[in-house]
Amino acid sequence: MRFEWEYPACIELISRGAIQVDTLISAVAPLAEGASWFDRLYRHEPNLMKVILRP
């Protein structure tokens, strides 16, 4: 099943504040640390839900 049509609508809702996602984001980290964050997520580290990686 493909849902690519949903992304623009979701981004728009988030950008205007209709959907609050802050509580879902556990951390913001540099892209260079991505491998270690993926490992932590894969190991189901407690209290870790979503990580944003920034270039």
Eight-state DSSP code of residue 18: S
pLDDT given for residue 39 in this prediction: 97
pLDDT in the model for residue 1: 62
Residue 37 lies in a domain: yes
- d(Cα 42, Cα 34) in Å, to the nearest integer? 12
Identify whether 10 is part of a domain.
no
pLDDT of residue 3: 75
Cα 18–chain centre separation: 17
Task: Tell me the residue range of the domain where 35 lies.
Answer: 20-54
Low-confidence stretches of the chain (pLDDT < 70) are: 1
Tell me, yes or no, whether 3 lies in a domain: no
The pair of structure tokens assigned to 5 is 């049509």
